[in-house]
Chain A
Amino acid sequence: MNRSPLLTLRSMTKSFPGVLANDHVDLDIYGGEVHALLGENGAGKSTLMKILYGFYRPDSGEIRLNGQPVHIRSPHDARQFRIGMVFQDFVQIPAMTVAENITLFLPDLPFVLNQASIIKRIEEVSERYGFKVNPHAPVWRLSVGERQKVEVLKLLLADARILIFDEPTRSLAPHEVDGLFQVFANLKRDGYALAFITHKMKEVLACADRITVMRRGKVAGTIKGSEATESSLIELMFGKQIEEALGRRGETPADGRKPLLELKGVNTRSEGMAWGLKDVHLIIKPGEIVGVAGVSGNGQKELGDVVLGLEKCTKGVKYLHGEKYTDWSVAQVRESGVAFIPEDPLGMAAFPWLSVQENMAMVNTRMYSKQGGLSMDWQAVRSDLQASLERLEFNIPPFYVPLGFLSGGNIQRMILAREMAHHPKLIIAFYPTRGLDVQSANSARRILSTSRDQGAGILLISEDLGELFNLSDRLVVMFQGRIVGESTPQEISMNEVGYLMTGSKGENKKSD
């Protein structure tokens, strides 16, 4: 590319207490290109983009826009400079229509709104870039993929030229990812600059023109998408070749054993947009991994919560270790040897303002208390945590700092270590590798397959079909709160699962 870059970052440096998040990072972004930022968790990708969008101020460094040095002090400034960002969690008001949501975002609205002209513009832009979003539809009716398109529309109507996407494919179904990449291509054609953060290799190879790999706060290298290969990217990301560490399935020893968990005809309430469970039958035996495939929001969360005892059955019976446990409390279920690895550790499992060891104690406060609860046995907490971390080969963080001070990946590792500390009999794993970098994801998968080999039963809920096929002994597919298919990875193809997940009738569907 001989043109001058649209946006130039020079020597950007940003440190947080104890961490140098960005260390003299240089980056050029051109108009008409898709620029991928690839790296492990904590490599500094998000920090860099948040500086660009005005969330953080850099300690030093220069941002130039069309060659002019600019200061971006707030997201408001960033929008003035026609930089827009699409977040992982969309900022939308579900009860309002697409058009109303977009209107809210637009700068300099007149006192009296001209909705018709805005709708016309939405339609024009959607037409041009192939969005197919109905401006009159209320947002709560839209799928995650459509809502993401609404976010992009917002930015386009507000005249952004540089669009930043923070892990845009995180919650999309496979076919929605393809749709997003098509949008990328259309925008690129019209000279928009696109930057997206990811740690999924395949996506980068599928759509990026240029790829900047970050490692520990520095740029490890920038290469053209057409010249990149999976192994060259991995080498840039980690600086060394890492072994392919997926657990290979052995023969299934589980066949003759008594079920560890059994759900019989379980129904739950449906809440808001999510589907409640409908007549779910499920058996997990010791020593097997049962994978649950499905587009998120089709009852997987409810399934995990029902097994954990958090969600009550409106109908049906559940058995755990051969006992009926339909009415057990979460504490009873947990203490009977059930571990829970959540999709969103910060929201669902961690206590950011409590120290690392206090977080560890939370898994069973009764066991770690002394004198009937008058004090806590921190010595035992620490040694259990230490032992668990060593077994998993994780780094040992300081135990006295608040957990929230650790990086996202480290928080997830701490939660894994906590949950695995007491050799659980049943593990509910909710998107266990979502948001993890390749190395951590591999070690998380290894933990699951090792536990399975040692006789634990595992309910693995995931959207990563590759992961499900690799790890599971049996697969079930959920759609709209029902189990619509059950098979083994050997007997069903990814395509068939994909069809079942999206509710389409596959050619040779193997359900019911």
Chain B
Amino acid sequence: MIKAISEMAFFRNRRMAGLIRFVGLFALALMIFAAVLLVFGKNPIRAYWDIFSATLGSSYGISEVLVRMIPLILTALAVALPSRIWLINVGGEGQLFIGALFATWGAVNFTNLPAWLLLPSIGILGFLGGGLWGAISGFMRVRGWASETISTLLMNYVAILLVNFFVFGPWKDPESANYPQSAPFPDAAILPSFFGTRIHLGAVLAIVGLILFYFVLSRTRWGLEMRAIGVNQEAARRNGISTSRYIILLMLIGGGMAGLAGMGEVSAIHGQLRPSLSPGLGYTGFLISWMAGGHPIGIVAAAFLLSVITSGGDILQMTHRIPAAGVHILMALILFVVLARRGGKPR
């Protein structure tokens, strides 16, 4: 038992406190948003009830919440992994777009490959795309050229413009009237879905990602070294642990996770590359990771809640004629209370 405790040292003591914090923060944000709704003359209880029943009141609603959770968990991991050594990756959005871009390149260029070969290939391409995009920031940080916080944030815009360049330009589907979008993916490049819903194979990637994240951090040598860097970087260097290597590696793997999210969205949901690929999935992932304090179970819970909220935005628009962007107020509120509570640090 003692051994189990020691292996859990990293996650220990956070569980109960984490849960209480989680629920409390969330309730606070909901109450403030209720006040906002009141100001606009809406009935907040009706609004919340509608969100709740439309998302969780039917099996279709639940399946759609799960569909949205897939990219959110992956982009949250993209933030949570580097955050273990105090890297702040705000670039999930851009890494997601580049992942989608790479995956699209594979899907539309190797149309005659069979699915068993094409799907893993675009998966790897998606991971590589996002990973390289993240690793650039890691490299610049190691060389002392730029803080990863700034560079990942700025490179989001570059990534989105790059995708725009391709879908408005060289990759534009000649058969689509004049829409900026790539040619549709061949069937062999579409991730399979389950149970007649839109829940796709990306769910397996998200779950495997979560398990690996937990396992690597708590059991392995690399997890130990990462925790060492997180606790005391100076001492880690003096013990021969290369912090530069971890900075680049974690930005690469983190970016790769977001790239996988992009691959999943473009392959399973859209079936082609569009500029409207992501409604801020990367930024929401950032929020989720910080709400969860990097804990894998917390990531699932926070991804679930934010998935409900973002789905709720559409519902508010339809039933209460509140602009869908209205829920961004709620998400911003959540971000504020999370940051206020932690003093801006994920520990």
What residues of chain A have their CB less than 8 Å away from a CB belonging to chain B?
308, 310, 329-335, 340, 342, 347-355, 357-358, 361-366, 368-369, 373-376, 378, 399-400, 402
Contacts and interface: CB of A to CB of B under 8 A. Distances in A.
Contacts of B225: 362, 365
Contacts of B51: none
Contact of B222 (A348, A353, A373): A373
Contact of A362 (B2, B224, B242): B224
Interface string B1-19: 0110110010000000000
B231 A352 contact: yes
B232 A350 contact: yes
Contact of A358 (B9, B240, B242): B9
A329 B240 contact: yes
Nearest to B229: A351
B46 interface: no
Contacts of B240: 329-335, 364
Contacts of B237: 310, 330
Contacts of A373: 220-222
A308 B238 CA distance: 8
A400 B221 contact: no
Contact of B227 (A354, A375, A378): A354
Nearest to B9: A355
Nearest to B215: A374
A369 B221 contact: yes
Contact of B228 (A329, A332, A362): A362
B4 to A, nearest CB: 10
A512 to B, nearest CB: 33
A43 B231 CA distance: 28
Contacts of A348: 234-235, 238
A375 B9 CA distance: 15
Nearest to A400: B6
A361 B223 CA distance: 12
Contact of A310 (B2, B221, B238): B238
B328 interface: no
B173 to A, nearest CB: 45
Contact of A354 (B2, B219, B228): B228
A400 B224 contact: no
B327 to A, nearest CB: 37
A376 B221 contact: yes
Given A365-B225, A400-B2, A400-B6, A349 B220 contact: no
B224 A361 contact: yes
A305 to B, nearest CB: 8
Contact of B221 (A330, A363, A366, A399): A366
A353 B231 contact: yes
Contacts of A310: 237-238
A331 B231 contact: no
Q: Which are the 7 A-B pairs with shortest beta-carbon distances?
A: A331-B240, A369-B221, A373-B221, A334-B240, A351-B231, A330-B240, A400-B6
Contacts of B227: 351, 354, 358
A347 B6 contact: no
A376 B234 contact: no
Chain A binding surface, main DSSP class? mixed
B109 interface: no
A349 B239 contact: yes
A400 B235 contact: no
B241 interface: yes
A202 B224 CA distance: 44
Most chain B CB inside 10 Å of its own CB: which residue of A310, A330, A334, A342: A330
B221 A378 contact: no
A465 to B, nearest CB: 26
Contacts of A329: 240, 242
Nearest to A377: B221
Given A348-B234, A351-B231, A402-B9, A362 B239 contact: yes
B242 A355 contact: no
Contacts of A402: 9
Nearest to A344: B234
Contacts of B228: 351, 354, 358, 362
Contacts of B224: 354, 358, 361-362, 365, 376
B332 to A, nearest CB: 32
Contacts of A357: 6
21 contacts: A308-B238, A310-B237, A330-B239, A330-B240, A347-B234, A348-B234, A348-B235, A349-B235, A349-B239, A351-B227, A351-B231, A353-B231, A354-B228, A355-B6, A358-B9, A362-B239, A368-B221, A374-B219, A375-B219, A376-B221, A399-B6
A331 B241 contact: yes
Contact of B238 (A342, A376, A378, A400): A342
Contact of A374 (B2, B220, B239): B220
A366 to B, nearest CB: 7
A121 B3 CA distance: 62
Interface string B74-108: 00000000000000000000000000000000000
Contacts of A354: 9, 224, 227-228, 231
Contacts of B222: 373
A353 to B, nearest CB: 5
Nearest to B5: A400
Contacts of A378: 3, 6
A375 B220 contact: yes
Interface string B47-76: 000000000000000000000000000000
A311 to B, nearest CB: 11
A497 B56 CA distance: 79
Interface string B257-301: 000000000000000000000000000000000000000000000
Contact of A352 (B6, B232, B239, B242): B232
Given A355-B9, A375-B220, A400-B5, A334 B232 contact: no
A336 to B, nearest CB: 10
Contacts of A362: 224-225, 228, 235-236, 239, 241
A376 B6 contact: no
B85 to A, nearest CB: 13
A340 B238 contact: yes
B181 to A, nearest CB: 43
A402 B228 CA distance: 12
A355 B235 CA distance: 15
Contacts of B238: 308, 310, 330, 340, 342, 348-349
A366 B220 CA distance: 11
Given A354-B231, A364-B240, A365-B225, 6 more contacts: A330-B238, A349-B235, A362-B236, A363-B239, A366-B221, A374-B221
A367 B241 CA distance: 13
A347 B239 CA distance: 12
Contacts of B241: 331, 362, 365
B293 to A, nearest CB: 14
Contact of B232 (A347, A355, A368, A375): A347
B244 to A, nearest CB: 10
A376 B236 CA distance: 17
A335 B132 CA distance: 32
B303 to A, nearest CB: 27
A363 B237 CA distance: 11
A333 B237 CA distance: 12
